[in-house]
Structure formats: structure tokens, C-alpha cells
Amino acid sequence: MHRSIVLFDFDGTLADTFETGAALINEFAGRFGYKTIDFAKNRNLSARELVKLSGVRWWQIPRLVRFFRKESARNAYNIQPCQGVPEMLRNISQSADLGILTTNTTHAVECFLRNHNLESYFGYVKTGVPLFGKRRALGSAVRLLQKKYTLILYVGDEIRDIEACRAAGVEIISVSWGFNAHEVLAEANPSVAKSAGELEQLIVRRIDA
């Protein structure tokens, strides 16, 4: 057993789902009565800010999350990994245990891991985390995992990941190829990777510290 575990976000971090997810959300804007959003031009906004921009009411969020999880599941078998991710995971697994903590569904994650032969890398998987419930989920993960590991590290692509990790007392490395842009992530977190190779270097450096 390794002394460190690296927990990964799924969408936009391991899985290349940004464009399909944005298109899906805009496709149903008329049906649910919110505004469409140019996600590519608003990568500096947090998830909360985008919710406000879209006009979605907070009480609508649970229903919308359930709906989009169900719709996304239809495309689960077509999800591709972000560039360089499989090789990065293979290399990191030599010096740390790996896990996933995500808002996406068990079905989507299992399909992705199975289709790309990544199942063996992950010993801890937590799915179905509420959209704004990562702080609590991370707290639960820490209570469980700190019995086995001296270092728990999280990797995510959003401002809300940074906020959740800070609240839960978890170290985080951000990646800039997903939901939020490099500039806004770097303002909140000095540790930001622009590529899977750079992420690997940052993780190994922290593990070896």
C-alpha cells in the first residue's frame, strides 16, 4: 500500500466531457426555462456564477442535476479520456493509490473506466456527489482515508473544487483543460497544470516532498 492517495474529479479532469455537457445543457434551455450560455467564453465564471447567469432558480437545481445525469448516461459509452490521461494515471499509480470523487453517475464512471482499461487503477470511487456538495463528500472521504494515508491530494478543474478542498482541508492541484480557465484557477490556487504531463510532475513532486 502506498502512503499517498490522489483523488480525481471526473468530468473535465479525467474525462473529456466539457463540450458535450455544455451542448446538452443548452439543448434543454427552452424546455426548462433558463438562458443558454456560451460556456467557452465564460470559463472564468464559477459554477455558482453560471447558475445565476442562466437564470436557473436554486430550487430547480436538484431536478436539473437528476435530469442531466440521466441524459448524460445515454452517451456514457462514448466518453473519451482527456489528452494524456491514461499514461499519466499509469505512471502515477506506481507511487500513489488513486481514487475518484465526482458528481457524475456510477454508470458513467464505470463505463469510462471499463472502456479504456482503467478500472484497475482506482481503489476508491465515490459518485453521485451533489453539485454543491463536494465539501461534505471530501470531508467524509478524509475521515475514511486518513486512517490509511499520510497524504490525500485532490485533482479538479473547477473553482468549486478549490473552494471545497479548502473547506475540507484537502490539498488540491487544478487542471486548466476542463471547466475553468487557467487564469482564474491560478488566482485561487498556485498549483495549476496545463497538461497531463505537467500534472504528473506536480503530483510526483508533492508525493516525494
pLDDT in tens, 149-173: 999 999 999 999 999 999 999 999 9
Summarised one tens digit per residue, pLDDT across range 3-44 is 999 999 999 999 999 889 999 999 999 999 999 999 999 999
How buried is residue 41: exposed, middle or buried, by Cβ count under 10 Å (0-12/13-18/19+)?
A: exposed
Cα gap 157→189, rounded to integer Å = 11
Beta strands 171-175 and 151-156 are parallel
Of these residues, 9, 11, 157, 161, which one is catalytic? 9
Q: CA 29 → CA 12, 25, 110, 175, distances in Å?
A: 22, 7, 28, 28
> If pLDDT is split at 50, 70 and 90, which confidence band does 70 have?
confident
The pLDDT assigned to 75 comes to 85
The pLDDT assigned to 55 comes to 94
The pLDDT assigned to 143 comes to 94
The pLDDT assigned to 71 comes to 86
The separation between CA 36 and the C-alpha centre of its own chain, rounded to angstroms, equals: 22
Beta strands in the chain (DSSP E): 4-8, 97-101, 122-126, 151-156, 171-175, 192-193
pLDDT above 70: residue 1: no
Across the range 75-84, mean pLDDT stands at 93
**H or E element in which residue 126 lies:** strand 122-126
Average pLDDT, the chain: 94
> If pLDDT is split at 50, 70 and 90, which confidence band does 131 have?
confident
Across the range 164-185, mean pLDDT stands at 96
Q: How far apart are the first and last CA of the chain?
A: 18
> If pLDDT is split at 50, 70 and 90, which confidence band does 69 have?
confident
So where are the chain's domains? Answer: 4-16+80-208, 18-77
Is residue 171 classed as helix, strand or coil in its secondary structure?
A: strand
9: annotated active-site residue: yes
**H or E element in which residue 193 lies:** strand 192-193
C-alpha cell at 199: 500534472
Across the range 135-161, mean pLDDT stands at 95
Across the range 175-198, mean pLDDT stands at 96
pTM summary value: 0.93
- Spatial strand order of the sheet with 192-193 comes to 122-126, 97-101, 4-8, 151-156, 171-175, 192-193
C-alpha cell at 151: 497524504
177: number of Cβ within 10 Å: 20
**H or E element in which residue 9 lies:** none
Domain 4-16+80-208 fold is: Rossmann fold (3.40.50)
